[in-house]
């Protein structure tokens, strides 16, 4: 950890900000990000981001990566399993303007939609919330939900 001095405008008092800059071992990273993303390049990017986080961003990013990796793994469960019935049922539940757009794409062009994948898994009683809850540590899930409760109307944390 080191202290950086900078000034917002000439003549203003210098502000000291503690920045968390460190290189973590792979073992340390694996303890922090325990829901592993299947792509090595993504894992490397996550590690680099955590190493550069300032103190007040670190915990959010750690939780975000674990939750995001769990959600990514969840969406992969439905890969290649879209049926015509799934597709039509999903379209019926969409607002008309969005359904129209996906009808133009057709079943093949819509297969990578995360919303369609989630719909398929929910129809097969594999809920995302339950899946993610099984992968995250209970205390991390509680913290993640707390971030959601603290966010404002545009979805950003306050």
What's the 3-state SS for 39-68?
A: CHHHHHHHHHHHHHCCHHHHHHHHHHHHHH
Average of per-residue pLDDT across 37-50: 93
pLDDT digits (tens, 9 = 90+) for 87-103: 999 999 999 999 999 99
- Give me the pLDDT at residue 93, please: 93
Q: How far apart are the first and last CA of the chain?
A: 26
pTM of the model: 0.66
pLDDT digits (tens, 9 = 90+) for 13-22: 443 334 445 6
C-alpha distance from residue 59 to each of 50, 69, 110, 148, 154 (Å): 9, 15, 35, 14, 21
Higher pLDDT, 50 or 11: 50
- Tell me the pLDDT of the chain averaged across its residues: 81
- Give me the pLDDT at residue 151, please: 67
Percent helix / strand / coil, the chain, rounded to 5 = 60, 10, 30
Does residue 12 carry a pLDDT above 70? no
């Amino acid at each position: 950890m080191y202290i950086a001095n900078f000034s917002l405008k000439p003549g203003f008092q210098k502000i000291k900000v503690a920045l968390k800059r460190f290189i973590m071992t792979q073992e340390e990273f694996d303890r922090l990000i325990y829901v592993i993303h299947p792509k090595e390049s993504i894992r490397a990017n996550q590690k680099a981001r955590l190493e550069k986080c300032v103190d007040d961003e670190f915990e959010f990013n750690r939780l975000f990566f674990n939750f995001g990796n769990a959600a990514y793994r969840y969406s992969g469960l439905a890969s290649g399993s879209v049926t015509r019935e799934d597709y039509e049922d999903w379209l019926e539940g969409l607002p008309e303007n969005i359904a129209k757009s996906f009808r133009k794409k057709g079943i093949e062009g819509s297969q990578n939609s995360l919303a369609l994948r989630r719909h398929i898994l929910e129809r097969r009683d594999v809920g995302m919330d339950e899946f993610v809850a099984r992968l995250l540590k209970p205390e991390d899930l509680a913290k993640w939900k707390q971030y959601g409760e603290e966010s404002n109307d545009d979805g950003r944390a306050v």
